[in-house]
Amino acid sequence: MTHTTLILGATSAMAEQTARLLAADGDKLILAARDPERLEILAKDLKVRGASEIQVLPPFDASKADTFDALLDEAGEVDRVLIAYGSLPDQEALENDPAGIRREMCTNFGSVIDLSSRIATRMQAKGSGTLAVISSVAGLRGRQSNYIYGSAKGGVILFLQGLRNRLQPHGVRVITLLPGFVDTPMTADIEKGPLFASAAKAGACIHKAITRGKCDVVYVPGFWRFIMWIIRAIPEPIFKRLKL
Ligand SMILES: NC(=O)c1ccc[n+]([C@@H]2O[C@H](COP(=O)([O-])OP(=O)(O)OC[C@H]3O[C@@H](n4cnc5c(N)ncnc54)[C@H](OP(=O)(O)O)[C@@H]3O)[C@@H](O)[C@H]2O)c1
């Protein structure tokens, strides 16, 4: 059985890798992103990889909430939605830039919960659907080097937890995706270490979570569950003294 999957932020490296696998399943893919030229190239590639149909939506910018309903209307009825966009700001530069903090919170939190709410209402009315959202392990504990990004992602985690609880009786699945370090354009300036996964590996984890998995909260890759278990177990009086 093939599905119709809407991907918001389809040009993200992790979304692209996930989309390749959904295309190979023969899914219909509906793509939305800011850059129409990159989206056209991606659409052609996914068609070659086996997608039964590709629909490209008008440019999608997470800061333009007044376009969201029209975008979802144009996508029409979908079985699955993957929210994949996000931005990783320079934490130090933001510390004295309240407007920048507001902008980043809008991209990584406000717009994500806005879209999730609109999608949830549509899926609830239909009585089925899967909403998968990429948050981050950064949202599980605040640390000095990225607590602005982390708090936005943490807010998304809590929001999805409540949404899952609300939608459970209505046949709608809500999946929280928690990647650790993934080698994508977002982390291009960060020195790579052994904990980094490739975008292809992350895409495979996300594809599995959406198509075959049963888990509500999925670490990407899975070993991050153990790392975060340890990090979260460190008592706050010790944690606050660490340089993380
Ligand atoms: N890479 C990691 O280590 C890592 C770890 C944990 C979580 N994540 C999360 O994983 C998701 C995917 O990121 P990625 O690593 O695949 O990075 P990526 O390849 O750099 O993709 C980021 C995507 O977000 C889009 N975007 C940014 N701001 C937007 C806006 N205002 N409106 C619409 N689209 C916007 C970008 O579009 P443009 O190309 O037009 O800029 C790009 O497609 C993000 O939510 C990120 O926070 C990443």
Q: For residue 98, count other CB atoms closer than 10 A to its CB.
A: 9
Does the active-site annotation cover 85? no
Q: For residue 193, count other CB atoms closer than 10 A to its CB.
A: 7
CB-based pocket (< 6 A), ligand 1? 9, 11-14, 33-35, 60-63, 84-87, 107, 134, 136, 179, 181-182, 184-187
Residue 244 domain flag: no
Question: What is the predicted pLDDT for the residue at 112?
Answer: 98
Residue 102 domain flag: yes
Residue 1 has pLDDT above 90, yes or no: no
Which of 182, 98, 177 is closest to 134 using CA atoms?
A: 177
Residue 30 domain flag: yes
55: CATH: 3.40.50.720
Residue 172 has pLDDT above 90, yes or no: yes
Q: What share of the chain is helix, strand, coil (3-state, %, to 5)?
A: 50, 15, 30
- Residues 6 or more apart whose CB falls under 8 angstroms from that of 54 comprise 28, 29, 30, 31, 43, 46, 47
pLDDT in tens, 153-165: 999 999 999 999 9
Query: How far is 72 from 184, CA to CA, in rounded Å?
Result: 27
For residue 130, the Cα-to-chain-centroid distance in whole angstroms is: 13
Residue 56 has pLDDT above 90, yes or no: yes
Ligand 1 pocket: which of 87, 145, 156 to mutate (most atoms within 8 A of CB): 87
What range defines the domain where residue 20 resides? 4-239
Residue 230 has pLDDT above 90, yes or no: yes
Average pLDDT, the chain: 97
> Domain tally for the chain?
1
Determine the atom of ligand 1 nearest the C-alpha atom of 196: 3
Residue 201 contacts residue 179 (beta carbons within 8 Å) = no
- Helix (H), strand (E), coil (C) string for 215-242: CCEEEECCCHHHHHHHHHHCCHHHHCCC
Residue 149 contacts residue 104 (beta carbons within 8 Å) = yes
Question: What is the predicted pLDDT for the residue at 233?
Answer: 98
Question: What is the predicted pLDDT for the residue at 213?
Answer: 86
Say how many Å lie between the CA of residue 87 and the centre of ligand 1: 5
> Where does the chain show beta strands of DSSP type E?
4-8, 28-32, 53-56, 80-83, 129-134, 172-179, 182-183, 197-198, 217-220
Ligand 1 pocket: which of 18, 146, 156, 182 to mutate (most atoms within 8 A of CB): 182
Question: What is the predicted pLDDT for the residue at 22?
Answer: 98
pTM of model > 0.95: yes
In this prediction, what percent of the chain has a pLDDT beyond 90? 98
